[in-house]
Amino acid sequence: MKLELGHFHVKEVTFGDFTRFENGVLTINKEEALAVVREDEHITEADLVIARPGEEKRIVPVKEAVEPRCRVNSKFDNYFPGVTGSDLYQVGEGRSHALKGCSVLAVGKHWGSFGDGLIDMSGEGAQWSYYSQLINVCLVADTDEEFERHEQQKKNHALRWAAHRLAEYLGRCVKDAEPEEVQTFDLPAVTKREQAVNELPSVVYVIQTMTQMEEEGYNDLAYGWDLNKSIPTYMHPNEVLDGSLIGGSFMPTSSKWATYDYQNCPTIKALYEQHGKTINFLGVITSNLNVALVQKERSALFVAQMAKSLGADSAIVAEQGYGNPDADFTACIVALEDAGVKTVGMTNECTGRDGRSQSLVSMDPKSDAIVSCGNVSELIDLPPMKEVIGELAALSRDGMSGGWEGDEILGPSVREDGSIIMENNAMFCGDQVMGWAQKTVREY
Amino acid sequence: MKKAIVYINQFFAGIGGEDKADHKPEIREGAIGGAAAIQAALKGIEVTHTVICGDNFMGSYREDAIAIISEMLEGKEFDVFFAGPAFRAGRYGVACGEISRAVTAKFGVPVFSSMNDENPGVEMFRKEMVIFEGGKSAAAMRGDAAKVAEYASRVIAGEPVGSAAEEGYFGRGKRHMVFDAEMKPAADRAVEMLLAKIAGKPFATELPIPKTDFVPIGAPIKDLSKATIAVINTGGIVPVDNPDRIQSASATRWGRYDMTGMERLKGGEFKTIHAGFDPMMADNNPNVILPLDALRQMEKEGKIGKLHEFFYSTVGTGTTQKEAARMASEMVPPIQEANVDGVLLVST
């Protein structure tokens, strides 16, 4: 399968009469863009606000991030099959165009939920989220989803789906343009590779997607399908990069993988980089993180079986989330090691505010090679920002993981002067286990 | 200029060796003996006093030693406290840990030490203080003192410090998140680690899994009615005068006590010295921890053959696995000599 991804590097985003991309400037016709947002009648209020790196802006509560994309020379126009539009088709082949260096963020105008996060565009807070370095087109909106207005767990359907549509809408402005750069992701079928490649150590990349909710509407999706209702499955890495996977709305946000993270998965790119040189990259096993022990065991069995059947010598396992999913993570690594597959794990830790708690709920000496990307419970204390996009009170008020209303020692998460104290848990997609993290956890 | 006080033993004060190990605590002005090596490497900090105490005095009369030293430090201005370096000297290492624990609790200043990894003080105190990894003997004095002094100088000045591995001290079990713009992204670190693992080359996991020492469960006793049973407790049950001076926490000592002819352990004759729970119940009725009364009953009923005449005792709270394993290995020979078939290990 061969995917060509055309890059258009966005240096500035502004509003104007026509939505277009020219000389590095993305101009957005706000009314037209908001009309796309309002295609869902559940959207009651909506606005677009631009946040650029270095600006004194704090964005909260952030629910989703999407890279603007479109398909080129395709008979299909919906970029996220099974999620946007009505056509269901296989992605990862042919050509897509992407507006690089920017993302569409779904931001609650008022209401936050457990899996929502915060992004600072400058200052110390900017080092903790990947999204601080992107130009963010913030869709700040409210909805009439009254059934979950005051729920801690929200599906955030209207807002998240509006972000997907908006990213498609923006992406389409470069459909017919010539990209500045084209990245090619070409990975032939497993049995159709050159002898020299076949002789290299083979690797599968196992992603444990978030699927802990039994009810639909919260979990990660593959082509629109709730991965809670699946067993681990084999995917071509290009499918992951090209809009087949959608981030969920449940996981404490520093552990979460947004749709943008799947679209840009750095570990897939790093494995591509080594393919044919030092390794034979076999593909992706998409697993899940269901809560019952038997489901965890079943998924670990399937991952190990698939790795063996594919003839994998080694694997990288990435865990989304922490706590209960640690059991899946460790079980999966143990199952792979027991099958003779040399495995490296990628995860974050929960060592507590004092750093003294056990890192993972479940640990095994067989997981002897782990890349650690962060500590969810690290305390982060940040000064006020000039502008808040969304509503700062959500961090304290709405049960966002990592925020709190009051604490005997630390006080409330949101202070009167606009400064905040929170756990890393609330930093939007902060731990970057998909592979960006220039962070780790060390013993002191 | 910030101020430091240093604790050293009688040997490093030049008072004497084993024959002077009962030396009572004293305090002198300035950096005396081994404290001079720390002073030499400090930046912006002056050693105003040196506390000297014999290792045996601290070991045998810990509470008195701590009380005397605390009184000496009362009213003195100091920002930081050093103990050692203690190298591989076991009693000295434990003494450094004990006094550091007391000083930081009472005076609220940071405390630092240096010990060799084989010093029992490391396992006992590494979780609560910074102990640099030091050499085996006094030959390493200058280097060991410099490492701890240089690090402490940066801490006191509020300068950035690295992790335990980067700095060279024994990790305290505190894991914290670090951002480093120079660090390779996690994806590249993972692929590099994988390539090393595939090639059988060394690699360093970023999340070491603590080693768990699984002890296999013994085979069942075939005929309990003919078996000799011994009982060991980590609940600190001892004769009221605690003849073996077993410590109330972080124990390194154990004792065994004859219970021949006793139907039960009487309050007033036995008590608990365990500091990890309210002792009232156990002091009134030591059998709630060491169930001699129930075991004698089982002996009478023929459920067990007989009870071994000694019970064995130590304290579990704060006691390191390493020390516990050593004490157990010392208890085993006399138990084996008595042809004991099974041991009942009771806790609190």
> What is the rounded distance in angstroms from the CA atom of residue A212 to the CA atom of residue A273?
32
Query: Which pair of tokens denotes residue B267?
Result: 């309050």
A444/B164 CB distance under 8 A = yes
B76 Ramachandran zone, left/alpha/beta (phi>0; psi -120 to 50): beta
B92 Ramachandran zone, left/alpha/beta (phi>0; psi -120 to 50): alpha
Identify the closest residue of chain A to B197 by CA–CA distance. Answer: A342
By Cβ distance, the residue of B172, B178, B194 closest to A439 is B178
Peptide bond into A61 cis (omega under 30): yes
Q: How far is A146 from chain B (nearest CA, A)?
A: 38
Q: Where are the alpha helices (DSSP H) in A110-194?
A: 157-171
Report the pLDDT averaged over residues A160-170.
Answer: 98
- Using the structure block, give the residue that is written with the tokens 């300035």: B30
A313/B165 CB distance under 8 A = no
Angle made by CA atoms A211, A297, B205, in degrees to the nearest 5: 85
B194/A440 CB distance under 8 A = no
By Cβ distance, the residue of A316, A343, A441 closest to B178 is A441
Report the pLDDT averaged over residues B43-69.
Answer: 96
B186/A346 CB distance under 8 A = yes
Quote the mean pLDDT of chain A.
Answer: 97
Q: What is the pLDDT of residues A423-434, one digit of tens each?
A: 999 999 999 999
- How many C-beta neighbours within 10 Å does residue A338 have? 11
By Cβ distance, the residue of A373, A424, A444 closest to B171 is A444
A346 part of contact set with chain B, CB < 8 Å: yes
A442/B191 CB distance under 8 A = no
Identify the closest residue of chain B to A362 by CA–CA distance. Answer: B209
Q: How far is B309 from chain A (nearest CA, A)?
A: 41
Output the pLDDT for position B139: 96
Identify the closest residue of chain A to B211 by CA–CA distance. Answer: A365
Whether B206 has a pLDDT exceeding 80, the answer reads yes
Whether B321 has a pLDDT exceeding 80, the answer reads no
Output the pLDDT for position A229: 96
Peptide bond into B85 cis (omega under 30): yes
- A443 CB neighbours in chain B (<8 A) are 163-165, 171-175
- How many C-beta neighbours within 10 Å does residue B211 have? 8
DSSP output for A68-90? -EEEES-S---SSTTTSSS----
Report the pLDDT averaged over residues B162-186.
Answer: 96
B172/A444 CB distance under 8 A = yes
CA dihedral A143, A146, A149, A155 (to 10 degrees): -70
A271/B191 CB distance under 8 A = yes
- A370 CB neighbours in chain B (<8 A) are 205-207
A363/B172 CB distance under 8 A = no
B186/A373 CB distance under 8 A = yes
By Cβ distance, the residue of B166, B177, B186 closest to A371 is B186
Q: What is the pLDDT of residues B221-262, one digit of tens each?
A: 999 999 999 999 999 999 999 999 998 887 889 999 999 999
Q: How far is B186 from chain A (nearest CA, A)?
A: 5
pLDDT-based confidence at residue A268 (cuts at 50, 70, 90): very high
Whether A300 has a pLDDT exceeding 90, the answer reads yes
Output the pLDDT for position B248: 85
Output the pLDDT for position B251: 85
Return the DSSP state at A129.
-
B178/A203 CB distance under 8 A = no
E strand map for A52-151: 57-66, 69-72, 94-100, 102-108, 117-120, 135-143
Output the pLDDT for position B317: 81
**Secondary element (H or E) of residue B329:** helix B321-337
Query: Cα separations (Å) of A349 from A124, A130, A250, A315?
Result: 21, 18, 18, 20
> What is the rounded distance in angstroms from the CA atom of residue A166 to the CA atom of residue A21?
15
By Cβ distance, the residue of A128, A316, A356 closest to B194 is A316
pLDDT-based confidence at residue B215 (cuts at 50, 70, 90): confident
Q: How far is A147 from chain B (nearest CA, A)?
A: 37
Chains A & B: contacts with CB separation below 8 Å: 153
A439/B209 CB distance under 8 A = no
> What is the rounded distance in angstroms from the CA atom of residue B167 to the CA atom of residue B170?
9
Output the pLDDT for position B218: 87
Instruction: Parse chain B into domains and list their residue ranges.
Output: 2-167, 224-346
- The interface pTM score, or ipTM, of the predicted complex is 0.97
**CB burial class (10 A; 0-12, 13-18, 19+) of residue A92?**
buried
**CB burial class (10 A; 0-12, 13-18, 19+) of residue B221?**
middle
A277 part of contact set with chain B, CB < 8 Å: no
A355 part of contact set with chain B, CB < 8 Å: yes
Q: How far is B127 from chain A (nearest CA, A)?
A: 9
CATH topology (fold) of B2-167: Rossmann fold (3.40.50)
Which of A344, A366, A423 is best to mutate for the B interface (most B CBs within 10 A)?
Answer: A344
A442/B195 CB distance under 8 A = no
pLDDT-based confidence at residue A180 (cuts at 50, 70, 90): very high
Query: Which pair of tokens denotes residue A232?
Result: 């681990």
Which of B175, B189, B197, B205 is best to mutate for the A interface (most A CBs within 10 A)?
Answer: B175
Report the pLDDT averaged over residues A72-78.
Answer: 96
Q: How far is B206 from chain A (nearest CA, A)?
A: 5
Report the pLDDT averaged over residues A185-195.
Answer: 97
Which of B166, B207, B212, B213 is best to mutate for the A interface (most A CBs within 10 A)?
Answer: B207
Query: Which pair of tokens denotes residue B64?
Result: 């008195």
Instruction: Parse chain A into domains and list their residue ranges.
Output: 2-426
Report the pLDDT averaged over residues A138-163.
Answer: 96
Helices vs strands, H then E, count in chain A: 9, 25
A131 part of contact set with chain B, CB < 8 Å: no
Q: What is the pLDDT of residues A362-393, one digit of tens each?
A: 999 999 999 999 999 999 999 999 999 999 99
